[in-house]
Amino acid sequence: MSVLVYVENIGGKFKKSTFEVVSYSKAIADKLNTELVAISIGDVDQESLSSLGKYGASKVLHVTNEKLKSFVNQAYASVIAEAAKSIQANVVTLANSFSGKGLAPRIAVKLEAGLVDGAVELPNTENGLFSVKKTAFSGKAFAFVEISSAIKVITLNPNSYPVQESGTAATVEKFAIENKETDFRTIIKEIVRATDKISLPEAERVVSAGRGMKGPENWGMIEELADVLGAATACSKPVSDAGWRPHEEHVGQTGIAISPNLYIAVGISGAIQHLAGVSSSKTIVVINKDPEAPFFKVADYGIVGDAFEIVPKLIAAIKAYKGIYEKSLS
């Protein structure tokens, strides 16, 4: 009996969500009094693999195969499922990322396992139960799902569990299986990533804007505010539909669901479809000149006023604060 965690890499590097899910999986392993084993697929250097031990993995299974250099959903699911069988894992965990969302259902079917996607807390294992809290109804509610199957598959929402260092270096072992040709029916030839941007699903801070900005020519101050905060930029659906911003920045029920520590909404009224994708944010700050804007009802902090006056002042104040803070460190 053990816990298996799939550690996703991009370009041979692990993301923050990887360390979150390893820390989360270690806590589950501790609850079940068992060990945590990680599995990595693709070209990742030995030092990075071994460093997963800092977050609780006792062993890392490393899969290197020319056919698996690029993400192939069916093939990756087969490898992870076989690894779970080989170590007799009773819990398999993944980050609830683009690839994790595709892998988890396939793995669950192969292992005849129960699945909970979008977990936000550790499972409750009291009295022999195994219940997991997850987001539901596009983030507007939470559900507590009990898994009764012998094997469980869980995907963890980004920014839902803190990164925790709890161990030392992990041992690294080679792992290989013979994939079936049917695993490669669909091949991804190329994945184009925006390397100069912070990934929205993993961003700790997000600055978002809506039609209150009046046009794409006014987005400079939104990007500047995001830059001084080290934040990702986002937008409402009407903005992306109008072509003011790219569709990959659209957050909401029909866009990307996010859960950053800080979400700043500038000139967004707060329609229920938008709130569905951002309501999991830890702290919400709303800037809007309409005091009746629905967004203020869910905001932790609200500023009623013209964004074209407030945002530049906010940027100046943050720059001044950072200047003082940096001086105090020097």
* pLDDT exceeds cutoff 90 at 172: yes
How far apart, in whole angstroms, are the C-alpha atoms of residue 79 and residue 67?
12
Identify the residue with better confidence: 66 or 173. 173
Q: What is the pLDDT of residue 135?
A: 86
Is the per-residue pLDDT at 167 higher than 90? no
Task: Indicate the average pLDDT of the chain.
Answer: 92
pLDDT at 1: 83
pLDDT score of 150: 96
User: Percentage of residues in the chain with pLDDT exceeding 70?
Assistant: 96
Q: Phi and psi at residue 144, in whole multiples of 5°?
A: -110, 110
pLDDT digits (tens, 9 = 90+) for 247-269: 999 999 889 989 899 999 999 99
Residues 59 and 173: beta-carbon distance below 8 Å:
yes
Contact indicator for 38, 5 with CB cutoff of 8 Å: yes
pLDDT at 324 > cutoff 80: no
Give the strands of the sheet with 114-119, arranged side by side. 141-146, 131-136, 114-119, 152-156, 89-95, 2-6, 35-41, 59-63, 171-174
Number of H helices, E strands in the chain: 8, 16
Query: In this structure, are residues 47 and 55 in contact, taking their beta carbons and an 8 Å threshold?
Result: no
Q: How many CB atoms lie within 10 A of CB 281?
A: 24
Indicate the angle between helix axes 98-111 and 73-86, nearest 10 degrees: 50
**In the predicted model, is pLDDT for residue 141 greater than 90?**
no
Quickly state the pLDDT bin for 179 (edges 50, 70, 90): confident
* pLDDT tier at 330, thresholds 50, 70, 90: low
Q: What is the per-residue pLDDT for 63? A: 94
Angle at 129 between CA 124 and CA 130, to 5 degrees: 55
User: Can you give the pTM of this predicted structure?
Assistant: 0.84
State the Cα–Cα distance between residues 217 and 200, nearest whole angstrom: 22
**Per-residue pLDDT, 195:** 59
**Does residue 309 register a pLDDT over 60?**
yes
Query: Does the structure show a pLDDT above 90 at 134?
Result: yes
202: confidence class by pLDDT, cuts 50, 70, 90:
confident
- Report pLDDT for 96: 93
Show the domains of the chain with their CATH numbers.
2-184 (3.40.50.620), 200-329 (3.40.50.1220)
For residues 154 and 136, the model is more confident at 154
- Write down the pLDDT at residue 188: 74
The 10s digit of each residue's pLDDT in 310-320 is 999 999 999 99
pLDDT computed for residue 194 by the predictor = 63
Q: Label residue 199 by pLDDT band (50, 70, 90).
A: confident
- What's the CA gap between 229 and 225, in Å, rounded? 6
